[in-house]
Amino acid sequence: MKFPVLLILFNRGDLTAGLLDIVRGQSGRRIYIAADGPRPEKPQDGQLCAEVQEMARDFARHYDGECCLQLQSSNLGCGPGVKAALDWFFDNEEAGIILEDDCHPSQDFFRFQDEMLERYRNDVSVFMVSGSSFLPKPFALNAPSFFTKYTQIWGWGTWRRAWEKYEFFLKEDHRESWVNIIEEACPDKAERFYWLREFNKLCGKLVPHTWDYQLQFSLWKANGKCLWPTQNLVTNRGLRSDATHTLNPSDYLCQEACGLHAGLDGSPIPQSAEIDKLLFWFHFLEGDVNRFRYILFESDESIQSKLSEISLLGDIYTCRRIVTDPMLGEVFNLAGKWLKKMVFGKQIE
């Protein structure tokens, strides 16, 4: 079965053109295109958004299949705009594939999504299917896919049954229950510290500036899991200076899309806490040793005590001081021990 596809666009014509060229080859699929409107404080958006929306109209006129458009005249914003697009999509479809303008997939991405969306259609424990993967070669798995507690939205698919559990607004009066959900999902101190910090940034916001962290929290609340391919099937072309969030990505995130290197044979799919830790390190912390150390230090009371003993609390919370001060060698060893335990007994270089 060929599942429908939602394309989420904004103001980057070159990325939109590349994505539309890829999707044009998927003739026969039902395509939905949602394009946000210009921001009033950005004068250049008027022309840029108009160009993108005209590309969408032209695609719809010439596409070999059904194409539905949702073109905004004014800007909804990064958070509400994507939510509105997804609500519209799943009001009309039971399941489907989602691609933002900068997420350019390989052809195997569509095959992977089609097969997995069909295979797990009625398995409520599976919340979504990712198309990206950031496991480095030394940790490659001998399987075409794996399950994890972490979401990834650079090309993904899901079902209406899962989207109905999505919560965009993290309400202040539900804080205690959300904190319990995050703590249960993240028994590791460093991970828990990171996610509680992100939750606190969003909790109680009248108009959240993003939508993807809420997807992660919604997955945990539903006690769900995400299916990832072992091979990366989507290239993110938008990791550049005009991006909204990721302006200076690491090499781990800048991976080219490739094809599936193994058949989707229905064999058992691995899932483990070690894989989750690897993804936390390589995806959310981008393999950045300094970020890891900072979060490790902040989240561990025993390390805080050591820092206090050597009287560096004056500015210990700056990454530069943490990394360069030779008196912290003993503390660095603690970080190294944690890394060595992550998976397969290997230490990340």
For 212-268, how does the pLDDT look when each residue is reduced to its tens digit (9 = 90+)? 999 999 999 999 999 999 889 999 998 856 655 455 555 666 677 777 765 677 778
58 in a domain, yes or no? Answer: yes
**pLDDT score of 259:** 75
| Boundary residue ending a domain (244, 271, 287) | 287
Tell me the C-alpha distance between 16 and 58, whole Å.
12
Are 198 and 258 in the same domain? Answer: yes
| Boundary residue ending a domain (50, 75, 101) | 101
Lowest mean pLDDT among 8-12, 90-94, 161-165, 336-340: 336-340
pLDDT of 326 > 50? The answer is: no
**pLDDT score of 134:** 80
pLDDT of 12 > 60? The answer is: yes
Closest CA to 304 of 268, 285, 328, 274: 328
How crowded is the C-beta side of 33, counted as CA atoms within 13 Å? Answer: 27
Are 200 and 66 in the same domain? Answer: no
Q: Where are the alpha helices (DSSP H) in 224-328?
A: 273-279, 289-299, 301-309, 319-324
64 in a domain, yes or no? Answer: yes
Are 144 and 280 in the same domain? Answer: yes
125, with CB counted inside 10 A (0-12, 13-18, 19+), is exposed
Are 93 and 119 in the same domain? Answer: no
Asked if 155 and 233 touch (Cβ cutoff 8 Å), the reply is yes
pLDDT of 48 > 90? The answer is: yes
| Domain span at 254 | 105-287
Are 134 and 258 in the same domain? Answer: yes
The dihedral built from the CA positions of residue 91, 83, 236 and 60, taken in this order, carries a sign that is positive
**pLDDT score of 339:** 46
**pLDDT score of 347:** 41
Number of domains in the chain: 3
Tell me the C-alpha distance between 203 and 286, whole Å.
24
Tell me the C-alpha distance between 310 and 322, whole Å.
13
pTM of the predicted model, to two decimals? 0.85
Lowest mean pLDDT among 92-101, 188-197, 298-307: 298-307
* Token output for 205: 């916001």
* Token output for 241: 């200076």
**pLDDT score of 312:** 41
Closest CA to 112 of 75, 145, 79, 148: 145
Are 171 and 64 in the same domain? Answer: no
346 in a domain, yes or no? Answer: no
**CATH code of 6's domain:** 3.40.50.80
Query: CA separation (Å) from 330 to 45, 152, 193, 307, 318?
Result: 51, 35, 22, 10, 18
**pLDDT score of 252:** 61
- Compute the C-alpha angle 108/113/115, nearest 5°: 95
- Over residues 262-291, the pLDDT tens digits come to 567 777 888 888 888 888 877 888 777 677
Are 157 and 238 in the same domain? Answer: yes
pLDDT interval class at 346 (50, 70, 90)? very low
